[in-house]
Amino acid sequence: MTGTATQAANRIVLARRPAGAPVAADFAIESAPLKELAEGEVLVRTRWISVDPMIALLIGERPLGGAVPSYPVGGPIPGAGIGEVLVSRAADLVPGDLVEGRIGWSDQAVVPAAGLRKVHPGLGAHALSAGGLPGFSAWLGLDMIGDVAGRTVLISGAAGAVGAIVAQLARIRGARTAGFASSAERCAFLEDELGVDVPIDRRSPDIAAQLAALGGIDAYFDNVGGPLLGQVLPHINRQGIVVICGLMNSYTGAPAGPDDSTLLTAIMGRSLRVQGFNNREYLSRLPQFEEEIVTLLRSGQVIDRLNEKAGLQGVIDHMAELFMEGADVGKRIASLD
């Protein structure tokens, strides 16, 4: 358990700041020395890397209007992943443990154990998806909405990592579900695999008519923001709820949503509740969530599609596809096994 000899790791760095949606050339893979293990740190070998849309925000200019700092050009990207502990100088971890946390887009890393959590046995890569923070976001956001039995819940990005879990949990809790996805293949996935009652292709020219046909939306779980939110607002019932889990529309510099006056007049005119949250603020509830989701995954009541690519190059390829209208569904991960 003493420090290991200095070694090198391969890692992804931000080669330049993307102009809009990220492309492969915005990233580079380089070798960098691993620092010596300090007390409380562990050396991990990366098993899976999580490719989160939020990274596109954080590598952009002035994320959230400057509310959070951008990742610097030339630097590594502290994304989340699952690693296997190789060497430990932390009390709670031993070699062989699987841990989740911001281990970075790197094949090995020295990280403080304080930012890591042991992965629930048996979840494997799903600890980055339904069984991890995306699933936790889905669960927390639904909890903020409250009882959905018999109510109509609309989800944006419903074929994505968070949206797919929202759709299934809402259905299990008795909601009628409707979901946006950005291709015919994704809409088929919503209907056939996730059991979404009303899939809506967000590229279709008659979105307003399809929304009106829902006959009133009680809750909108929004991962996207943008003009789509403006289109949804007039169809939300009085005292309806909008949960803002993500604003993916804005992550490449587009407007985050409809203008404030539209949003505010809807909030006041129809007594809406619009609420944002960050799953990192509720980590004390993670064990309760894990217990529920593990049961649902094991019984097959919730399916968790992983969209898997290989190696660090797989991470870069995922990033380049992130904002495309494609056929792929489910949580984007890269496997470094």
How many residues comprise the chain? 337
> Based on CB atoms, which residue is closest to its own copies, 274 or 297?
274
Q: What is the DSSP letter of 203?
A: T
> Based on CB atoms, which residue is closest to its own copies, 15 or 267?
267
The CB-of-69 to its own copies minimum distance in angstroms stands at: 12
> Based on CB atoms, which residue is closest to its own copies, 49 or 145?
145
3-state secondary structure at position 140: helix
The CB-of-261 to its own copies minimum distance in angstroms stands at: 4
Q: What is the DSSP letter of 104?
A: -
- Alpha-carbon radius of gyration of the chain: 20
Angle of CA points 35, 41, 42, to nearest 5°:
85
> Based on CB atoms, which residue is closest to its own copies, 5 or 67?
67
**How far apart are the C-alpha atoms of 170 and 178, rounded to whole Å?**
10
**How far apart are the C-alpha atoms of 134 and 245, rounded to whole Å?**
10
Per-position b or e across 108-144, b if 16+ CB within 10 A of its CB: bbbbebeebbebbeebbbbbbbbbbbbbbbbbbbbee
Token couple for 295:
């049961």
> Based on CB atoms, which residue is closest to its own copies, 199 or 257?
257
Closest CA to 87 of 6, 141, 147: 6
The CB-of-278 to its own copies minimum distance in angstroms stands at: 5
The CB-of-178 to its own copies minimum distance in angstroms stands at: 21
**CA dist 107 → 131, 251, 252 (Å):** 22, 26, 27
Strand partners, 307: 332
> Based on CB atoms, which residue is closest to its own copies, 265 or 288?
265
The CB-of-67 to its own copies minimum distance in angstroms stands at: 4
> Based on CB atoms, which residue is closest to its own copies, 250 or 307?
250
98-101 and 117-118 beta bridge pairing: antiparallel
> Based on CB atoms, which residue is closest to its own copies, 68 or 114?
68
**CA dist 10 → 56, 181, 248 (Å):** 21, 35, 29
> Based on CB atoms, which residue is closest to its own copies, 149 or 268?
268
* Residues lying near its own copies in the complex (CB under 8 A): 64-65, 67-68, 225, 229-230, 238-239, 244, 246-247, 250, 255-278, 281
Q: Which class for 223: exposed (0-12), middle (13-18), buried (19 or more C-beta within 10 A)?
A: buried
**How far apart are the C-alpha atoms of 304 and 60, rounded to whole Å?**
29
Place of tokens 């996805």: 181
The CB-of-232 to its own copies minimum distance in angstroms stands at: 13
The CB-of-188 to its own copies minimum distance in angstroms stands at: 30
The CB-of-110 to its own copies minimum distance in angstroms stands at: 30
The CB-of-212 to its own copies minimum distance in angstroms stands at: 15
